[in-house]
Amino acid sequence: MYELKSLSERCRYVECPSRIGVIEIGNGEVCFIDSGNDRSTAKKALKLIEERKLKLKLIFNTHSHADHIGGNKFLSERTCCEIYAPGVEAAMTRYTYLEPALLYGGYPMPALRGKFMIAEPSQAMTLEHEKLPPGIKSISLPGHTPEMTGYIVDGSIAYIGDAIAPASTLEKYGIFYLYDVSDYLKSLDTLMSLGCSVYLPSHSAPLYDIEEIVNYNRQKISEIAEKITEICDTGLSFDEILAEAFNYYGITITPEQYALIGSTLRSYLSYLMDQGRVSTVIENNMLKWKKS
């Protein structure tokens, strides 16, 4: 844990719970892809590069989840590095209270206001192509979040953030967080078309062939969509569907899971409505979803 591992001559990453990409950009300088969970992780990552006489120049965030932007503020204060994030992810990195507000759908309850959900805000600027150092390209991979973005170095090393759920997550939780089901599936297609030699997801070891895990993600999404459609059957309220889903997947409800899985369930219901597989009815002033 917390060691620098190599992917190519100039591409490395910090082995830690939410991996930080480290790319050499010339003149003894590096850019980070994401910044880890918090300032303690960022401090360890910075030490690793400083031991090698490298200087942090830039951070490129893949998306605005707290475990990817948690070290931004510390690193920018310590090194004066610039921070870039794609589109709305930059706004959410500057205004981090928006994350639990998005998940919960209103002013978040107290359990959702800790550092697990709200990172320290940092002055992320909107990512523009001309800000990327030579040889680094951004690739749009939305779905896990509205504008999740991956970074490809020299056409062969892909830092892909949370665009693919690791097998361990799929096996442990059965249902996993995502924002837009349709975009997530399209991003899996995009990943399959990249033809890179190495893919680094934030929460698993580097992958040299992604076909198996991409297919596993597709299969799980299809099963989850089918299960939710089946649960809706003749018409249930959101909380009834959520309780059924929690029971089926063996998840104990907590405020955090209510927000994460609840938000994911809402996204699936919208996806299934778009596909004409479920529809809404109003009964006794209650919105219910039923199988079409």
Kindly list the residues in this chain that would bind Zn ion in the complex (CB under 5 A): 65, 162
**In which residue are the tokens 């597709």 written?**
218
Report in angstroms how near the CB of residue 18 gets to Zn ion at its nearest: 8
Q: Which CB sits closer to Zn ion, 141 or 214?
A: 141
Q: Which CB sits closer to Zn ion, 39 or 65?
A: 65
Report in angstroms how near the CB of residue 99 gets to Zn ion at its nearest: 10
Q: Which CB sits closer to Zn ion, 148 or 225?
A: 148
C-beta separation of 35 from 63 below 8 A: no
Q: Which two tokens stand for residue 14?
A: 């910090």
- Tell me, what amino acid is at 112? L
d(CA 266, CA 291): 15
d(CA 160, CA 223): 24
Report in angstroms how near the CB of residue 266 gets to Zn ion at its nearest: 17
Q: Which CB sits closer to Zn ion, 178 or 241?
A: 178
Q: Which CB sits closer to Zn ion, 174 or 235?
A: 174
Report in angstroms how near the CB of residue 52 gets to Zn ion at its nearest: 28
Q: Taking CB positions, which residue lies at the least distance from Zn ion?
A: 65
**113 contacts: CB under 8 Å, gap ≥ 6:** 97, 100
The secondary structure of 213-271 as a DSSP string is HHHHHHHHHHHHHHHHHHHHTT-EEHHHHHHHHHHHHTPPP-HHHHHHHHHHHHHHHHH
d(CA 116, CA 175): 19
Report in angstroms how near the CB of residue 145 gets to Zn ion at its nearest: 6
Q: Which CB sits closer to Zn ion, 108 or 278?
A: 108
Report in angstroms how near the CB of residue 144 gets to Zn ion at its nearest: 6
